Amino acid sequence: GVQYRQAIELRLRVRENVPQTPMEAYPLARTMRRHITLHVGPTNSGKTHDALQTLAEAESGVYLGPLRLLAYEQFMRLNHMGCVCSLLTGEESMELAGARHVSSTVEMASFYEPIDVAVIDEAQMIADKSRGHHWTEALLGIPAREVHVCLAPHAERVVRELVTLCKDGLEVVRHERLVPLRPDKGGFRMPEDV
């Protein structure tokens, strides 16, 4: 009877409104022709530096990182470069007048307003069991014309696969370590070296 028809109608409405694939959950990003640049390399290889240069030159953009302290560091760096940038983390918000850039923790990413450039830092965190989904969401859904993804080499395969699923343009830039790693000969002493 009536309840059966209502149940069928409800199922159809749910089916129409629930994305069939994760990529469809971000309709704005899917309507854009995004270009993804993977900055692949080890620590201290200039990946984030190069991506931030592009971000600072853009009309609008966002930096997305794993830690409040890292978001704050890039907020300070971008403003020092003359790029007016606000800060948004789960703990604090500093909105600067006229800012068209935001430095943020990845959990605070916004998917509702188109921007020119996004930097997704430390994307190897995509493998983290408790927080990795935030990097997946950022990669699938950030509505930026250019997306610069900074990651360690071991995460390249999975990130490439996600970009392929999104049908976005892809470029890979390889970075080499700028400063060699050297073991500390003196060892670590507590509490003097803290």
Write a three-state SS string for the chain: CHHHHHHHHHHHHHHHHCCCCHHHHCHHHHHCCCEEEEEECCCCCCHHHHHHHHHHHCCCEEEEECCHHHHHHHHHHHHHCCCCEEEECCCCEECCCCCCEEEEEHHHCCCCCCEEEEEECCHHHHHCCCCHHHHHHHHHHCCEEEEEEEECHHHHHHHHHHHHHHCCEEEEEECCCCCCCCCCCCCCCCCCCC
* Better pLDDT: 25 or 110: 110
The pLDDT value given to residue 18: 64
The pLDDT value given to residue 23: 74
Q: Rounded mean pLDDT of 91-109?
A: 96
Question: Distance of alpha carbon 184 from its chain centroid, rounded?
Answer: 33
Do 67 and 190 form a contact (C-beta atoms < 8 A)? no
Distances (CA, A) of 43 to 8, 40, 77, 171, 183: 54, 10, 18, 20, 15
Radius of gyration of the chain (CA): 20
Write out pLDDT tens, residues 145-194: 999 999 999 999 999 999 999 999 999 999 998 777 777 777 777 887 77
Distance CA 22, CA 8 (A): 24
Flag whether the pTM goes above 0.75.
Answer: yes
Q: Which amino acid is at 160?
A: R
Distance CA 151, CA 62 (A): 17
The pLDDT value given to residue 49: 96
Do 150 and 122 form a contact (C-beta atoms < 8 A)? yes
Peptide bond into 191 cis (omega under 30): yes
Tokens of 34: 């995004």
